[in-house]
Amino acid sequence: MRLAVLPADELAPGEHRVVRVGTRSIGVFRVGDDYYALADHCPHQGGPLCRGSVAGAPVATGPSDVRLDEGHVLVACPWHGWEYDVRTGRSYQPGDAPARSLPASVEPGPPGMTPGPYTAETFEVTVEDRWVVVDTGRRPTTEEAS
């Protein structure tokens, strides 16, 4: 299922946001001009993974020469500090399960949606001999539904 979760320009490079879609909580990350998404569920003990700290991965080219790679970002679970790559969900600790990575893309608008107002489909409902009866064959007109 594809879900439109937020306008792309609401996230600046280096920012992330946790969005709620139904019962799902999803972390959306912007790294440069790329977008990534992770389920907001740490595989370790179910913590709110995407609410943790986010930073570039440490890179060392030699002793005392360490920097953070802002193009390779990790998120640390706020419960126990376990770190996961926001691009893939991969953990770099041996034996750790990966976080669930979700495909993310930027598209022209919410897929399949047009500007509202929207009208929900309604059905005629009657009670007959103590049974609720829904008539799905007849479609009320717009005026009847109002």
Spans of all domains in the chain: 8-102
Q: What share of the chain is helix, strand, coil (3-state, %, to 5)?
A: 5, 40, 55
Q: pLDDT tens-digit profile of 74-130? A: 999 999 999 999 999 999 777 888 999 988 988 876 555 555 555 667 777 788 888
The CATH code belonging to domain 8-102 is: 2.102.10.10
Whole-model pTM: value is 0.70
Cis peptide before 117 (omega within 30 of 0): yes
Cα–Cα distance, 44 to 100 (Å, whole number): 12
Contact of 24 with 49, CB cutoff 8 Å: no
What are 46's two structure tokens?
Answer: 């179910």
